[in-house]
Amino acid sequence: MDLDFVCTHAGRAATALTRRDVARALLEVPSGVALVAIPDLRRAMLAAGNPLSAVFWDSARATLGSIESGIATVGDVQRWVESTGTEPVIMTPGYFVWPEEDERGPVATEMFSRLVRHLEQRVKAGDIDPDALARGDEEARRAYEDMQEEWLSTPLPDGRVPGFAVNDEQDEELFAAWDEEEAFALSELRRILDELPKRPVLPAGELDRAAARLRELLGQPGYPANVLRACAGFEDRPMPDDDGELWLAVAAGIAGPVSDLSEDGDTLEEFADLEGELSHEDAVLANLCALQHADWLAAVAALARLGPGVLASPERIARLVAESEDIDVEIEDEDGADVDATERLFVPVVTLWGHLGIVDEDDVLTPLGWWGLPRALELAWSPRD
C-alpha cells in the first residue's frame, strides 16, 4: 500500500486527499499491512504538501492496532472514520439512518456524496475541527451530528429535502420488493389450489350465519372487534352490506392487516413510549404483521390439503409450516426455537379465526374455514385498487 493506492482509491490527487480518503484506503487492506504502510504514507503525504495532522495519524495507528489485535468493534471503526470530519454519521440524533454502502439506491448515493462535499466545505471553512473529533471531544461530536441533521432537513435548490428523498427511495424499494414477494406467493397459492384433488365447498348457510355473528361482533367496543376492524380497514371505510364480502374482508385482513388501530385517546403517546409495554391489541397486530408470506402459504396450503376436521392449533400450524415442502425453510434449531416462534405468532391468528368460525372451540378447522381460508388469502394478496 502506498500513496498511489490511496489516490487511485479516492479518485483524487495527493494534494486533494482528505482524512476520510486516507482512512477508507487504510481500511481496504489488511490491518497489519496498513500499519506497516503508515510511516511511508505519512512521509509521502508530507512531501506532497498535504501532511494531515499528528492527531489523525495517531488515531489511525490506534484504530488499526485495535483491529489487528481483534478488540475493535464495527462501531469503533465506524466512529473513527466519522471522526475524519467528512464521513456522514451512520445514524443522526433524529434517527435518520443511511443505508449500507452496497444497498444505496441512486438517490441515497447522490445525497451521501452531496453531504460529503458539504462537510468538506465546512472543514475548509473551519466549522469542523477533525482533530477534536479524533480526540473524542463530545461537544465537537454533537456539533458535527447537528450539522448533518440540519443539512438533511434543509431543502436543496431543486426543492428536494435530502433526508426525505432518501427515505422515500428506501420505501419505494421496500414496497417493490414486498409486491414482488406477494405476487410470487399468490401464484404459488393458486398453483397449489389448482392441484388439490378435491376443491373446498362452501357449506350451505354457514357463511351467512358466521357473517351475521361477525357483523354483530364488529359493532362492539374493545378487543377483538377493534383489531378485526383495523385488519379489514373498516376504521376508515364503511362495512360492506354483503355478508360474504364482509366475512372475506375480515378473514383476508388477518393475513394482511389493512390499517392500524384508530388513533384515539392516548394511543399515540403510549405507542411512542419505547420503554412501555404494548397494549394487547397492538401486540396482536404486531404478531400478524410479523408473519411472512411463506408462513401463510405453508399453513393455508397444508390446511387446504388436509381438509375440515384437522387440528389447526398454533402448535400444529407451526409444525405444518416447519415441515412444508411448499416453501424453503431453514432447519429448525435443535431446541425447536424456530417452531416455537412460529407458534407464538399464530396464537392470535387462531384466536381471531375462532371469531369467524374458521376453527371451532377446539381449534379444529371447520368446513367454512376449509372453504374460506384459501379465498381470504388470495384476496389478501391480490392487488388492491
Of 97-111, 218-232, 271-285, minimum mean pLDDT range: 271-285
- Per-residue pLDDT tens over the stretch 42-87: 999 999 999 999 999 999 999 999 999 999 899 999 999 999 999 9
CA atoms of 304 and 29, how far apart (whole Å): 55
CA atoms of 55 and 136, how far apart (whole Å): 11
Of 332, 305, 318, which Cα lies nearest the Cα of 363? 318
What is the predicted pLDDT for the residue at 337?
65
Q: Residue 307 corresponds to which cell in the numbers above?
A: 381438509
CA atoms of 207 and 204, how far apart (whole Å): 8
Asked if 381 and 180 touch (Cβ cutoff 8 Å), the reply is: no
CA atoms of 329 and 335, how far apart (whole Å): 16
Of 265-279, 326-340, 364-378, minimum mean pLDDT range: 265-279
CA atoms of 358 and 193, how far apart (whole Å): 18
- Quick one: three-class SS letters along 145-187? HHHHHHHHCCCCCCCCCHHHHHHHHHHHHHHHHHHHHHHHHHH
Cβ within 8 Å of residue 101, ≥6 positions away: none
Mean pLDDT in residue range 333-342: 71
What is the predicted pLDDT for the residue at 94?
87
- At 336, is the pLDDT very low, low, confident or very high (cuts 50, 70, 90)? low
CA atoms of 1 and 248, how far apart (whole Å): 65
- At 32, is the pLDDT very low, low, confident or very high (cuts 50, 70, 90)? very high
What is the predicted pLDDT for the residue at 274?
45
Cβ within 8 Å of residue 96, ≥6 positions away: 149, 152, 163, 166, 167
If one compares 273 and 137, the residue with the highest pLDDT of the two is 137
DSSP structure class, residue 349: H
What is the predicted pLDDT for the residue at 191?
92
What is the predicted pLDDT for the residue at 329?
56
Residue 276 has pLDDT above 60, yes or no: no
Residue 333 has pLDDT above 80, yes or no: no
What is the predicted pLDDT for the residue at 156?
95
Of 173, 228, 195, 381, which Cα lies nearest the Cα of 294? 381
What is the predicted pLDDT for the residue at 357?
95
Mean pLDDT in residue range 209-230: 92
Report pTM: 0.66
- Give the mean pLDDT of the chain: 89
Indicate the residue type of 329.
V
Of 160-164, 197-201, 266-270, 354-358, minimum mean pLDDT range: 266-270
Residue 206 has pLDDT above 50, yes or no: yes
- At 271, is the pLDDT very low, low, confident or very high (cuts 50, 70, 90)? very low
DSSP structure class, residue 103: G
Instruction: Say what percent of the chain tops pLDDT 90.
Output: 70
What is the predicted pLDDT for the residue at 272?
42
Give, in order, the Cα–Cα distances in Å from 229 to each of 108, 232, 373. Answer: 37, 5, 18
Asked if 345 and 352 touch (Cβ cutoff 8 Å), the reply is: no
